[in-house]
Structure 1
Amino acid sequence: MMESNKPIIPNDDVFRYYFYFIQERMNMFWRRCEGKRGLTKDPILREYKFTNVYRVCDRVSQYLLHHVIYNKVERYTPADMLLRILVFKIFNKIETWEYLEQTYGEITIQHFDVKKISALLSERQRYAPIFNNAYMMTGSHKRYDYLPTKHEKWLTMVKEEFIREGIIDKVLKAHSLEEIYLLLRGCSFLGGFLAYQYTIDFNYSPYINFDENTFVVAGIGAIRGIDKCFISHGDSYEDAIRYTKEHFTELQKKYGYIEFRPLKGHEPTLLDLQNCFCETDKYLRVKMPELLVGNKRIKQRYKPSCDKIQYIFPSKWKVKETNKLCSQPNIKELMIFW
């Protein structure tokens, strides 16, 4: 990590909850894999919805891997693959993707008719939401203000900038995560947070392969979490995330949370640690409401799901399966793409 001109000073009374959250939330993940009923005794984690420690383990990311990227890989060109990832992630909603596949067909560079897709989405929007509310998707940009709907503006941007102006081709030729991020950051509608998230989603594909620890961007939620956990975060919020990564084991021992059980062969990356600052911010809204930073309440409550997930990971990660995680016969075993 580069030397920071400003000091990095953790607030120990608060930062300890970051490591508590990581350990307990990951324990919940393993308990669910093992078919256990009582996932946690923590009343906050029982009541409210928190994402996984590993972004890739969340339901939408797993769907992306299963059904958009790693099914029929040989069927799509690299450019087709990135287009499919992008369209899926713009809506970030499984039901919307499945609706398009059923009514429009496969989305590829050669089969991407903005008017037809937009018309289908307008029809669906009459009775169901088409965007996931996890991301704030603005639909205002002077270049596309002549279009009537938000989804047509987004799809037209994809057609004009990613396909006709060659952003997809440039992404495939990029030499780093940061270069991809900067390419996306220059596109209409894409602020820093979405550009970083889409960069990571592209990096899940077989055609982009950069270390997640080489680049990170702090989102708004992570910034709030860092402001709570640090007295001074260095020259940038990203400095605090890198500090946490560099001193992860040391800080676990310092705060007494040494029973964290990571994915075998894949320790949390800068991306995951960034995400956990956002989730810790949410946790602290209830645990330490006196920390008046940002929102005061958590919007989403936890709703148990009976859906079973066969967890898969990009083969390039080389995640190791070291034991049988799913002890109950009605629970699917953890599945690894080698």
Structure 2
Amino acid sequence: MQQTDLNLTSSNKTNKSGLFSINKKLAPAKPTEVYNTYWRFAAKRQRLFFKKISKKYPPWTDDPILNKYKFTNAYRASDRVSQYLIKNVIYSDSYSLNDLFFRIILFKIFNKIETWELLKSELGEINYNTFEFDAYDRILTEAQASGQAIYSAAYIMASGKSAFGYSKKHRNHLTLVAKMMQDKLPERIASSETMQEAFILLKSYPSIGDFLAYQYVTDINYSNITSFSEKEFVVPGPGAIDGIHKCFSDLGGISEIEIIKMMYDNQDREFERLGLNYKSLWGRPLMLIDCQNLFCEVDKYARVAHPNIKGKSDRKRIKQKYSPTKDKFKYWYPPHWEINGKVEDFYNEIQ
């Protein structure tokens, strides 16, 4: 397995979470050739993103793997479902704390735009103060009976049957949301001092494990419910762990969490080292959630680009082929990121 000589360091100081008590040179991890592919993939995926929204005609890349298979964006918030959540669920109007939390969690449990649109078409504006279990259940049950998928395939949601007793998955999840609201979870999340504290609260509920709790707290942090630093906390999912172990043949005593933090800390240096003209998200660097997601995508990419290098799961195929969507929308991000003015300038320039 080809190795890459690197001197990887992290300068992060101890924080409240205790997860990154790093203020020293890290033990030597041993990168493989996939490590360099990680950075090249990020740069290529961003170039593809900008070419696509610049109204250029496909193909948007000369990479045959990117042309053939579906990969998420380098920045999680640029993906179609995240954009819909930000613009249509979180910031479409002004909501109370309870209503906003309810909307975010309800949307994310199904994580499917079509399910949200179905509920909205039947019920009108979706708010907690008008929530009725039977009404939601009827709509979702009828949709399933007609053959409609109500859950996204992106996340695997545990059924919750052992906790709530329903044979139909969505009934357990509606009960889960109701329990969160009854427990005053929105207030408890809003008063949390760290992302990890909010993560632990979410994880304490049935059918929500580490991966989902981290995804949910990230989505909540797009809103004004919380204002957590995006540099303080990360949880690697199964796909990211696979990607990490393809990028490194030996972690050298470093945890997967520390590896992700190391990627965040070293991104500018690594793009420069490889001579990559990386185009960030209008000045926004890759955050921990993005570095984590990139490991997941590079795990998939390496199945074709580096079939000789195995991760933890040893999966060999990329299941989803790329097919252009019909969605044509303007990108827009959480206002507290302070990049929407630059985004608007970009659109004005390409008109």
The TM-score, its normalising length taken from structure 1, stands at 0.91
Are positions 1:69 and 2:87 aligned together?
A: no
- Which residues in structure 2 correspond to 1:128-147 (within 5 Å)? 128-144=148-164, 146-147=165-166
CA distance in 2, matches of 1:108, 1:34: 36
**C-alpha distance in structure 2 between counterparts of 1:267 and 1:64, whole Å:** 21
Secondary structure at 2:320 match in 1:
coil
Alignment of 1:1-338 (within 5 A): 1=12, 2-3=21-22, 7-37=27-57, 38-73=59-94, 76-127=95-146, 128-144=148-164, 146-160=165-179, 162-233=180-251, 234-254=253-273, 256-293=274-311, 294=313, 295-319=315-339, 320-321=341-342, 323-325=345-347, 329=351
Deviates more, 1:306-315 or 1:189-198: 306-315
**Matched-pair contact (CA < 8 Å) for 1:7–1:232:** no
Measure, in 1, the Cα distance between the counterparts of 2:100 and 2:158.
Answer: 24
- Counterparts of 1:229 and 1:299, CA distance in 2: 21
Question: Contact 1:141 / 1:188 at 8 angstroms: preserved in 2?
Answer: no
Distance 1:265 1:5, change over 3 A: closer
Query: How has the CA–CA distance of structure 1 residues 8 and 188 changed in structure 2, closer, same or farther, with 3 Å as cutoff?
Result: farther
Distance 2:306 2:175 in 1: 44
Describe the superposition over 1:100-120 as per-residue Cα deviations: whole angstroms up to 9, x where unpaired. Answer: 011123332221112221121
Structure 2 distance, partners of 1:257, 1:136, is 38
Q: Tell me, which stretches of 5 or more residues in structure 1 are unaligned? A: 330-338
User: 1:193-243: per-residue Cα shift (whole Å, max 9, x none)?
Assistant: 000000000001122111211111101100000001013334421110001
Distance 1:265 1:6 in 2: 28
* CA RMSD, Structure 1 to Structure 2 (Å): 1.8
Residues 277-296 of structure 1: CA distance to partner in whole angstroms, max 9, x if unpaired?
A: 00000000000111122211
Q: Which amino acid aligns with 2:210?
A: G
Counterpart of 2:4 in structure 1 is: none
Contact 1:25 1:52 in 2 (8 A): yes
Query: 2:70 is aligned with what amino acid?
Result: K
Partner of 1:169: helix, strand, or coil?
A: helix
**CA distance in structure 2 between the partners assigned to 1:304 and 1:93 by the alignment:** 17
Cα offset, 1:173, TM superposition: 1.1
Counterpart CA distance in 2 for 1:70 and 1:6 is 41
Tell me, in whole angstroms, the C-alpha distance in 2 between the residues paired with 1:72 and 1:245: 33
Question: 1:47–1:302: 8 Å Cα contact kept in structure 2?
Answer: yes
- Give the deviation of 1:71 after TM superposition: 0.9
> Gapped runs of 5+ residues in structure 2?
1-11, 13-20
SS in structure 1 of the partner of residue 124 of structure 2: coil
| Cα distance in 2 between the residues matched to 1:56 and 1:273 | 13
Contact 1:80 1:109 in 2 (8 A): yes
Deviation at 1:142, TM superposition (A): 2.0
- Residue identity matched to 2:121: Q
Whether the 8 Å contact between 2:74 and 2:294 is mirrored in structure 1 is yes
Q: Higher relative contact order by CA 8 Å / sep ≥ 6: 1 or 2?
A: 1
- Measured in 2, the distance between the counterparts of 1:239 and 1:286 equals 27
The alignment partner of 2:153 has SS state of coil
Contact map agreement 1:222 1:281 (CA 8 A) in 2 = yes
Contact 2:68/2:321 (<8 A) preserved = yes
Cα distance in 1 for residues equivalent to 2:275 and 2:256? 23
Tell me the matched-pair count: 324
Residue 231 of structure 1 aligns to a residue whose secondary structure is: strand
Contact 2:97 2:186 in 1 (8 A): no
CA contact (8 A) 1:57 1:311 kept: yes
- Aligned partners of 1:92 and 1:131 also within 8 Å: yes
The 10-residue stretch of structure 1 (224-233 or 320-329) with the greater mean CA deviation from structure 2: 320-329
Shift of 1:192: 0.5
Distance 2:302 2:214 in 1: 25
TM superposition score normalised by structure 2: 0.88
- State the alpha-carbon separation in 2 of the partners of residues 289 and 140 from structure 1: 37
Cα distance in structure 2, aligned partners of 1:283 and 1:305: 21
Q: Output the amino acid matched with 2:144.
A: Q
What amino acid does structure 2 have at the position aligned with 1:303? S
Distance in 1 (alpha carbons) for counterparts of 2:132 and 2:279: 46
Paired with 2:37 and 2:275, the residues of 1 have a C-alpha distance of: 10
Conserved 8 A contact 2:161-2:169: no
Deviation (angstroms), 1:7: 2.3
